[in-house]
Amino acid sequence: MLFIINENAILINSIFVQLNQYMNSIRIAVHGGAGTMPKKYMTPETEADCNTALQNALKAGYILLQNGAEAVDAVAAAVTVLEDFELFNAGKGSVFTNQGTHEMDASIMNGKNLKSGAVAAVSHIKNPIQLARAVMQYSEHVLLLGDGAEAFAKLHNIEFAEDDYFFSPFRFEQWQRAKKRNMIVLDHVDDKKFGTVGAVALDKFGNLAAATSTGGMTNKMFGRVGDSPLIGSGTYANNNTCAVSCTGHGEYFIENVVAYDISCLLEYKGLTLDDATNLVVMDKLKKIDAEGGLIAIDKNGNICLPFNTKGMYRGWMKGEGDFFTGIY
């Protein structure tokens, strides 16, 4: 009998150890765009607001992971918080197009089964990441565009918002300056600032996920679409390797299939996440004068947040009280 009791005690203890290891393995990272407002224009209040938004996004995703949700739930929740923060170029804070409208892109990918959903050039969706997730869950497609995507949103009760919800004086002034100079510009304030938002996460089941959302380029024309809604370019997740969300000059990220490139370097070359992300961001992209950054997490919970700009709004969370946010 004593042997059985001891044996059961060992088994129970082993289960608790495994559960604790699972909980300790959950991770989440977020970004609010590579490139930053120059320090001379960054007020203490604005800097505090940006850090608070990053922290709120991390907490929103991490709480779900703690409660047993999957990584795909966590990244969707985190990006939704970032979309609701008007200083980031996504959702509420999206920049103006040449026509004075807002055209937003978003994508999400589940590393467990490689299922993906994305939308591009949507104008009236409060949280584009929620629509991208609906595409992944309720359609046989990956990417829906414009009016068609909005028609799909109505079928699945995705929340809409009027034009005035997306209006901000800050973005309007950016657009006016861009129009006067007859330029299509990356989201910026007297310096380069890429305001795309994103999240990557690892859940206690070992699943990875990534999500990205953006308002694109100020004064963009012709229905331009960047890398954010393109699986493999701006977003990628695979349980065998890593999850990646990118931010930067989208055309270069598309041409170099950046998010998938990171995964390939892990899978086929056996590189570490740190080596792979640094090779792509600090070498490959810099050689072609492509500015930007990314956040990535691998299947072992390692997190990397490289950028080749003056800064990147970024953060990670590994446990209650164990988190980081930074800008410069």
How confident is the model over 35-86, as pLDDT tens digits? Answer: 877 777 789 999 999 999 999 999 999 999 999 999 999 999 999 999 999 9
In this structure, are residues 83 and 211 in contact, taking their beta carbons and an 8 Å threshold?
A: no
User: Which of 144, 178, 192, 165 minimizes the C-alpha distance to 94?
Assistant: 165
pLDDT, residue 42, reads 84
151 CB-near residues (< 8 Å, 6+ apart): none
Within the chain, strands assigned E span 27-34, 104-110, 116-122, 143-145, 197-202, 208-214, 235-237, 242-248, 292-298, 303-304, 312-319, 322-326
pLDDT, residue 298, reads 98
What is the token pair recorded at 36?
């930053």
196 is catalytic: yes
pLDDT, residue 194, reads 55
Contacts 24+ apart (CB under 8 A), 64-70: 65/26, 65/28, 65/201, 65/203, 65/204, 66/23, 66/26, 68/204, 69/203, 70/110, 70/112, 70/203, 70/205, 70/207, 70/209
Phi, psi of 144 (to 5 degrees): -115, 150
pLDDT, residue 14, reads 45
Of the options 2.60.200.20, 3.40.50.720, 3.90.870.30, 3.60.20.30, the CATH number for the domain spanning 2-326: 3.60.20.30
Pairing of strands 143-145, 116-122: parallel
Domain ranges for the chain, please list them. Answer: 2-326
Task: Report pLDDT digits (tens) over 201-227.
Answer: 999 999 999 999 999 887 678 889 999
Residues of the chain with pLDDT under 50: 1-5, 9-12, 14-22, 187-192
Q: Alpha-carbon distance 95 to 88, whole Å?
A: 9
pLDDT, residue 257, reads 98
Residue type, 278: N
Q: Considering 36, 196, 218, 247, which one is annotated as catalytic? A: 196
pLDDT, residue 188, reads 43
